[in-house]
Structure 1
């Protein structure tokens, strides 16, 4: 743990300053760019390699849409509704767990009190 005395004279204030702007990128002129050679193209896949892929994925495997790529607005709305329900239930489960495990919450209260230095033993 570090205290403020560990910081130099400009320590905490220095951390609040914004980062300097990055140097401007220099783009080479159009004639200086080199096009890739034609031989660099990958060779067409052999039928044996294609057969291995289809054995694993199946011949009628449909490509999955990307994140909200081919989704209609109704599907997006439904997804957001289900996500909201899930997050609500997750918060309820956390709250329930906190209530039904009193030894954990009691221990957390005691440790918080010790951190605040207001803990008293009667």
Structure 2
């Protein structure tokens, strides 16, 4: 038995807005630059990022201790190689 596509199965006949048309209209209007973030906000975001990065490294060290040990050994070797 063959089914014919109905309104539910067939392609939508609703008009779709061109995604580029909105960009062209917005480009014609004067756009204010976003406000610059303050130094304190930048430092706060950086502190959060570094805290999360350290947490991720600790988690990796806990989950994969063998790889972490190998990584530490390679890093120590690199440090010894370039020491004067």
**TM-score category by the smaller chain?**
0.3 to 0.5
More helix by share: 2
Choose between structure 1 and 2 for higher RCO, CA contacts under 8 A separated by at least 6 residues: 2
Provide the TM-score with structure 1 as the length reference. Answer: 0.33
Provide the TM-score with structure 2 as the length reference. Answer: 0.43
